[in-house]
Amino acid sequence: MALLPLLHRDVGRPLFLPAHGRGSALPPAMRRLLQRPAGLWDLPELPALGGPLENDGAVADSQRAAADAMGVNRCWYGVNGATGLLQAALLGISRPGEAVLMPRNAHRSLIQACLLGQLTPLLFDLPYQPDRGHPAPADGPWLESVLAALPAKHPPISAAVLVHPTYQGYGLDPAPLIRSLQHQGWPVLVDEAHGSHFAADVDPELPPSALQGGADLVVHSLQKSATGLAQTAVLWQQGERVDTDALQRSLGWLQTTSPSALLLASCEAALHHWRSSAGRRQLRQRLMQARTLRDQLRRDGLPLLTTDDPLRLVLHPGRAGISGLDADDWLLPRGLVAELPEPATLTFCLGLADQRGLRRSLRRAWQQLLNAHPARAPQPPLLPPPLPLVAQPEVPLAEAWRAPRRLCVLEQAEGTIAADLLCPYPPGIPLLVPGERLDGARLHWLLEQRQLWGDQIPARLAVLSEIA
């Protein structure tokens, strides 16, 4: 057996997701359940249990209690990650032939939902931070310019999507953006996969949740930003803009007919944890410890960036002339297992686990990393992607994905049309969407990205055989 033994092994300090840190921060009720005779919890949708789409049973009761506590109309637990719920949500509020306004840092699951629903993604660019190569969240004036730049011809817009916060933890108050999009008549779906803890409302310095901001639909990944097991997530719905029956039908299309009782229980436990005083105390403490750790490490000389989520510790080795990918390769075998290596940065997810001793380990490892890379100069600023403020694929997404294709050497791809997503993972944000044309500037930028990302960007690209 190749897989099972690995799960027993020490893989190093978990500075990756799920945020429960290999079990150490699971809610006590989940720990107790998992210590019961193995497999006891693996139940089908028995009448007493039901499932996320049933009106009766323990799951329905639990979802109702969670929605009441959050002060929203409805919620649904998900066992196929934020992915499954984002896709169901988008399909539930759009009809084939419509368009969806979404930022360029939308997760690939949303692009895939556009494919499934025959929707046109109207992709808007974001402010770019060249020193680190991260997108920043759009603010009100940015969104106003996006709305002013919508192409003259596009399918009717059914909905708008926002991502709050970003993977690295940047987030502004989303309320003004949500209001301005709703003012256009569009329901707003917010991918808050990385910000479940914003909704716990324990820390005034965290950005507000999109739920407080009045978003119609919000998806939380409970494994990324709460204490859920991998694949747990929740979809919240509030207000009157969304047809709940349509949403429920859409969830039914994408949901397994055998949802795992263990994962559903984990959804409940993770959400309940933050309604309990122990859970709230734990979150407050972790936020405080994370802020202290960041300050201490800075005093120790580590180049750490500031984002809006203290639970994301973003190291900037690029400033010292080392790429985030190289730093990760070096730290991984030394037991420091980060979540998100990128060309200029390395993001550690502190999660909800106790990270005692991390300061010492990171300080020592950083010094050794510097010593191991004696010849270095700070990275130059990174180039922003040369994108129009708003764009739609030139060939409809659903058509481009299915059209006859060929593999083209990247260097020779100028003028071709992409047939696939080009998407380093993580963060799972597409650099290129099927149906988009690679003009000279975009190709030049992609070639540069390939030098930075290495093999995560393939040398050959799937493109349409016939140029439209």
Q: Which residues contact 115 (CB under 8 A, 6 or more apart)?
A: 397, 398, 401, 434
Establish if 81 lies at the interface with ligand PLP (CB under 6 A).
Answer: yes
At 326, which amino acid appears?
A: D
Q: Please, which residue, 99 or 111, has the CB nearer to ligand PLP? A: 111
Using CA atoms, how far residue 167 sits from 30, 303, 308, in Å, is 26, 19, 11
Least distance to ligand PLP, CB of residue 109, Å: 5
Residue 92: how many other CB atoms lie within 10 Å: 26
H or E segment and range at residue 142: helix 140-148
Burial class (CB in 10 A: 0-12, 13-18, 19+), 347: buried
Q: How far is the CB of 441 from ligand PLP (least distance, A)?
A: 27
Dihedral sign for Cα 189, 190, 193, 196, please. negative
Residue 351 interacting with ligand PLP (CB under 6 A):
no
Segment 183-212, which members bind ligand PLP (CB under 6 A)? 191, 193-194
Using the minimum distance from each CB to ligand PLP, give the nearer residue, 167 or 330. Answer: 167
Report the nearest approach of ligand PLP to the CB of residue 394 (Å).
26
Q: Indicate the DSSP class of residue 322.
A: -
The dihedrals phi and psi of 362, each to the nearest 5 degrees, come to -70, -40
In the complex, minimum distance from the CB of residue 222 to ligand PLP, in angstroms, rounded to a whole number: 9
Residue recorded with tokens 């402010």 = 127
- Contact pick of 187, 208, 324, 427 for ligand PLP (by CB under 6 A): 427
Of 109, 196, 282, 379, the one binding ligand PLP by CB under 6 A: 109
Residues 211-230 that bind ligand PLP (CB under 6 A): 221
168 belongs to the binding site for ligand PLP (CB under 6 A): no
Q: Which stretch binds ligand PLP (CB under 6 A): 77-85, 295-303, 320-328, 456-464?
A: 77-85
Q: Determine, following the binding rule CB under 6 A, whether residue 314 of this chain makes contact with ligand PLP.
A: no
| Residue 76 or 330 having the CB closest to ligand PLP | 76
> CA neighbours within 13 Å on the CB side: how many for 24?
14
H or E element: which one contains 87? helix 81-93
163 makes contact with ligand PLP (CB under 6 A): yes
Q: What's the CA gap between 200 and 215, in Å, rounded?
A: 16
- Pick the closer one to ligand PLP by CB: 191 or 268: 191
Q: How far is the CB of 201 from ligand PLP (least distance, A)?
A: 21
Closest separation between CB of residue 85 and ligand PLP, Å? 8
Task: Examine residue 165 and say whether the peptide bond preceding it is cis (omega within 30 degrees of 0).
Answer: yes
Helix (H, G, I), strand (E, B) or coil at 49: coil
Interacting residues with ligand PLP (CB under 6 A): 81-83, 107, 109, 163, 167, 191, 193-194, 221, 233, 426-428
